[in-house]
A = this chain, B = another copy of it.
Amino acid sequence: MTRNKTLGDLGEAGIIRLMEANAPKELPSHLKKGIGDDCAVLETAGDSVLLVTTDTLIEGIHFTAQTMPPEALGWKALAVNISDIAAMGGAPHTAFLSVGLQADTKVTFLESFMAGFKTLADKTGVVLAGGDTVESPSSAVVTITLLGDCLKERVVYRSGARVGDDVWVTGPLGNAAAGLFLLQNQGLDVSPEYESLVQTHQKPMPPLKLGKALAQSGLVHAMIDISDGIAKDLGHICEQSGVGSELHGSSIPMSSNLLKLAHEVRKSPLQWAFHGGEDYELLFTASSSDKEKIVLLGTKISGTPPTRIGTIIQEGGTWLKTEKGKEPLRPGGYVHF
């Protein structure tokens, strides 16, 4: 029976375990962190460490021609990697881009793709230093590997959360999921003001400066980027830190556009906020005695403060507390209100 088990049966967690089994149990001296965080962390001869991350987007799985025009695709393929560097507190500098496209793809597609890539690269100080452009028989596929650096003593891992920490998020949640909903339902008669939601899905802008400032402040204990939805991503921090968390339902930051759209199309805004993912905001924990410092720093760097949405607790799991009581918040699960 086992011989016929598929990757679909195995699931994401099982696949990651399989890959980890092929990485060294004991890290070699040049590697401070391998698989299991937003980036790998490599020692260098200087005061900095080298951060490395890689992400793949495949047509038909992560995007379609309907949801992602080529210019947005070039931007987003880089943005998801920048977000990983931001989540360690680093600054990205060098990108390697592999693109697989069908031979009958228009040259203008690749030009637009590269224009989107370069716009974000220029904004964030990233240089394209290599890659591979190959023919693909069907789906477009993009893999970017991004290198960055961070002061050795300031790297923030997923594993540092402590009981009693506040849980913070750098911006509103759910906008990307609401934008994707709009892109997948283009016949809908909705207000034109929702362009910002679509923009968050197509061209997210990770809070790179804030991530770096938070790391350099020394105030942050654990950090991760919100790629899979806060339920799952906060779960990673909790697992790796050996703690649990309790979210305050009424504190979740959501944009007025998101709330209006959800009302218009009769969807749950919290469903988008907790499970939608792809917001590419940062989720972090810090001592509750540093509340004011976090607010001041966030306001100084971004103009608006981060939002305190919960607490790290001893009891395992992620819990959602509302006026109706407390319930487990499972990754991908349905939010009952």
A positions within 8 Å CB-CB of B:
2-10, 12, 15-16, 18-19, 21-24, 27-28, 30-31, 34-35, 39-40, 42, 44-48, 50, 52-56, 58-62, 93-94, 96-98, 100-108, 110-111, 114, 117-118, 121, 127-139, 141, 143, 145, 147
Q: So how many copies of this chain end up in the complex?
A: 2
A58-B137, A96-B52 known; A110-B7 Cβ under 8 A: yes
The answer, among B4, B22, B130, B143, for a CB contact under 8 Å with A114, is: B22
- The answer for the CA separation of A107 and B9 in the assembled complex, in Å, is 9
List of B residues within 8 angstroms of A55 by Cβ: 98, 132
A315 to B170, CA, bound (A): 61
| A-B complex: 5 closest residue pairs judged by Cβ atoms | A45-B46, A8-B103, A60-B137, A145-B145, A40-B129
User: Which residues from B are CB-within-8-Å of A94?
Assistant: 30-31, 40, 42, 52
Asked if A100 and B141 make an inter-chain contact with CB atoms under 8 angstroms apart, the answer reads: yes
- Within the assembled complex, what's the spacing in Å between the Cα atoms of A65 and B105? 25
24 chain-A/chain-B pairs, Cβ below 8 angstroms = A3-B106, A3-B108, A5-B106, A7-B104, A7-B110, A18-B107, A19-B97, A21-B114, A27-B127, A31-B94, A31-B129, A34-B127, A34-B128, A34-B130, A40-B96, A40-B130, A52-B129, A52-B147, A54-B96, A55-B132, A56-B98, A61-B134, A137-B138, A138-B138
Contact between chains at A145 and B56 (CB < 8 Å): no
Q: With a CB–CB cut-off of 8 A, which chain B residues contact A136?
A: 58, 61, 139, 141
What's the Cα separation between A107 and B48 when bound, in Å? 39
With the chains together, A8 CA to B103 CA distance in Å?
Answer: 5
Contact of A110 among B18, B93, B130, B145 (CB under 8 A): B18
Question: When the two chains form their complex, are residues B35 and A129 in contact, meaning their CB atoms are under 8 A apart?
Answer: yes
* Chain B: minimal CB distance from A68 (Å): 15
A60 surroundings in chain B (CB, below 8 A) = 137
A98 to B77: give the CA distance in the assembly, Å: 14
Q: Is the Cβ of A107 less than 8 Å from the Cβ of B22?
A: no
The reply to whether B134 and A56 form a contact with Cβ atoms under 8 Å apart is yes
Q: Nearest Cβ in chain B — how far from A249, in angstroms?
A: 32
Q: Are B54 and A111 in contact (CB under 8 A)?
A: no
Q: Is the CB of A141 within 8 A of B138?
A: no
Question: In the assembled complex, which residues on chain B have CB atoms less than 8 Å from the CB atom of A47?
Answer: 45
Q: Which residue of B54, B61, B134 contacts A135 across the interface (Cβ within 8 Å)?
A: B61
B134/A98 in contact, CB under 8 A: no
Interchain CB contact (< 8 A) of A19 among B100, B121, B127, B133: B133
Taking CB atoms, residues of chain B closer than 8 Å to A130 are 34-35, 39-40, 52-54
B residues near A111, Cβ cutoff 8 Å: 18
Please, how many angstroms separate the alpha-carbon atoms of A22 and B104 in the complex? 22
Give chain B nearest CB distance to A89 CB in angstroms.
17
A110 to B62 alpha-carbon distance, docked (Å): 21
Could you say which of B30, B117, B137 contacts A61, with CB atoms under 8 Å apart? B137
Does the CB pair A127–B24 fall under 8 Å? yes
Cβ distance A85 to chain B, nearest Cβ, rounded Å: 13
Candidate in A22, A103, A133 with the most chain B CB atoms within 10 angstroms = A22
